[in-house]
Amino acid sequence: MNQPVEHPSTPVLPVAKRGLDLIRDPLLNKGTGFTERERAALGLRGLVPPQVVSIDSQVNRVMENFHRQHGDLDRYTYLEGLHDRNETLYYRVLLSHINELTPIIYTPVVGQACSQFSTIYRRTRGMYFSADDVAYFAEMVSNWPEDNVEVIVVTDGSRILGLGDLGANGMGIPIGKLSLYVVGAGLDPQRTLPIMLDMGTNNAALRDDPLYLGRRIPRLTGPAYDTVVEAFVRAVHARWPHALIQFEDFSNDQAFQLLERYRRQVLCFNDDIQGTGAVTLAGILSALRITGQTLSEQRIVFLGAGAAARGIADTIVAGMMAESGISLDAARRQIWTLDSQGLVTLDRLDSLSEHKRPFAQNSPPLPDLLAVTQAVRPTVLIGVSGQPGSFSETVIRAMHGHCERPILFPLSNPTSKSECTAEQAYEWTHGAALFASGSPFPPITRGGHLLVPGQCNNMYIFPGVGQGVVSCRASKVTDTMFYVAARTLAGLVGEDSLTVGRLYPDLTLIREISVQIAVAVCELAFADGLAGIERPADLETFIRKRMFVPDYVSYAV
């Protein structure tokens, strides 16, 4: 009954390995899914139990074991074990249980996994570039067997989620993010490469941990740091000139500088800045489909002025300029940012970090969010401060006093850091808030009406943008690509979702969303002369054909 059926359309591929070598290669292994013919011809007889099992039946077994694990960290470790044994099955499981499993392989559970990375470590995955090895970087890239790497996710572990400096333990982030690339947009797992750039760590507890696997030195800074990054970028770019490099979870000071330094030299972007910008703009555009207003009409206040705030603000500005043709300055004047010192104003210019300056307002000092809310009368309030409860009842009621449908996005993660809960936002606005958050909140019924809070999850954007730029071999990733991705995503939210205030589509639609974003990004790359291939006649079919589908292929026997 469980026998796998080989459809006439099942691709048949040659395979160079046999026997245990084949079983031990996670990219080729099928475990109990090897057919009788394959077992006979490839030296597998007797090496696997006699039952030949379909992939869907294997998925059921995995989920049964998954549910037996005690606690989320064990669930993460169990799934990573499968990742290391059988990648096709791992991705099949993730795709078929996406809403349940993405919080395990990525936020929030990946945070726990990174904290414990050196303890739960079992088997290597990806590459480690340590400052000690800088003279060998150019040789080290040849140790990686794949010639066609398409996406690299790299971190220096300096700002892992909200957990700070986790040194080499941050490797869990590139691994998790690349799993999302494969699940979300069908990047070929074989062509993905997670990388840890080990610059040391300022986390003394880690340096003293006998199990810690990274370098036990204080973090490099200044020119020493820059030299290592430069050697790294040159080495990977020389070996894989078309690969996309995604910078991930770098501390603020480095994140902006690296993006500025490399965005015109190599195909790269920073998801904490640009991906966050696009997914948040998409949510705002969905909300505006409900209110019927334009983006340029909005007065937007940010609590927090870090990487996420800057990325979101820049993307909104790009959106306003594209939508209504207003100038850069006029668009920036619609945005007010607050840091821990209050409103970011021109008076503070001398002491402001570079990334805060473009949004400094010509205003008298305003000490806190309530004062800014009263003075500015925002229509959109975005929380990227990591300060739980800072969207207080007084602030939200004050905002609702002048704004019929307040757009409220408390984005700080995890849930415990959210600036307010969904329930509070709906309660204090009598159900009028248009709400999305960084971490998920359950739906709420209010006065007989269902209200579904949206989750502003970067996963809606970066896989599709990544698939788009590597598919057309774009020479660079532009801000306009992120704006187009946001617009595409907002356009895919159905009317039925908007009716219940839901500003993002269901994650189960992620592959379809990514196809549309990838097509839109490619269109733009071709229009702007950035694409490195001839334009395919049918872009959508071209993208779909490139997508990895987690089905077993038949091995030619």
- Could you tell me the smallest distance in angstroms from the CB atom of residue 308 to ligand NAD? 3
- The CA–CA distances, whole Å, from 122 to 17, 83, 88, 178, 213 equal 24, 12, 20, 19, 12
> Among residues 370, 551, 434, 458, which one has the least CA distance to residue 161?
458
SS3 337: strand
Q: Which of 43, 108, 386, 536 binds ligand NAD (CB under 6 A)?
A: 386
Nearer to ligand NAD, 344 or 531 (CB): 344
265 C-beta neighbours (distance < 10 Å), count? 11
> Among residues 455, 425, 414, 495, which one has the least CA distance to residue 161?
414
Which range in 290-298, 305-313, 358-366, 526-534 contacts ligand NAD by CB under 6 A?
305-313
Nearer to ligand NAD, 168 or 273 (CB): 273
Q: Which of 162, 358, 440, 536 binds ligand NAD (CB under 6 A)?
A: 162
Q: Does 379 bind ligand NAD (CB under 6 A)?
A: no
Nearer to ligand NAD, 175 or 279 (CB): 279
Nearer to ligand NAD, 118 or 439 (CB): 439
Q: Does 252 bind ligand NAD (CB under 6 A)?
A: yes
CA–CA dist 478, 473 (Å, integer): 13
401 C-beta neighbours (distance < 10 Å), count? 11
Q: Which amino acid is at 387?
A: Q
CA–CA dist 152, 144 (Å, integer): 12
Q: Which of 366, 384, 492, 525 binds ligand NAD (CB under 6 A)?
A: 384
- The CA–CA distances, whole Å, from 87 to 26, 81, 94, 208, 552 equal 5, 10, 10, 35, 10
Determine the angle formed by the axes of helices 462-471 and 539-546, rounding to 10 degrees.
Answer: 110
Which range in 59-67, 176-184, 199-207, 412-420 contacts ligand NAD by CB under 6 A?
412-420
Is 106 an active-site residue? yes
Which one from 76, 90, 91, 106 is the annotated catalytic residue?
Answer: 106
Is 177 an active-site residue? yes
Contact string 429-458 vs ligand NAD (x = CB under 6 A)? ---------x-----------------x-x
Contact 213, 118 (CB under 8 A): yes
Question: Which residue, judged by CB position, is nearest to ligand NAD in the bound state?
Answer: 306
- The position carrying tokens 């292994």 is 29
Contact string 277-296 vs ligand NAD (x = CB under 6 A)? --x-----------------
- 554 pairs with which residues across the strands? 12
Q: Which of 272, 372, 419, 477 binds ligand NAD (CB under 6 A)?
A: 272
- Could you tell me the smallest distance in angstroms from the CB atom of residue 317 to ligand NAD? 17
Q: Does 313 bind ligand NAD (CB under 6 A)?
A: no
Nearer to ligand NAD, 35 or 361 (CB): 361
495 C-beta neighbours (distance < 10 Å), count? 7
- Could you tell me the smallest distance in angstroms from the CB atom of residue 445 to ligand NAD? 25
Contact 310, 253 (CB under 8 A): no
Q: So which residues are the catalytic ones?
A: 106, 177
Which positions touch ligand NAD (CB under 6 A)? 162, 252, 272, 276, 279, 303-309, 338-340, 384-387, 411-413, 417, 438, 456, 458
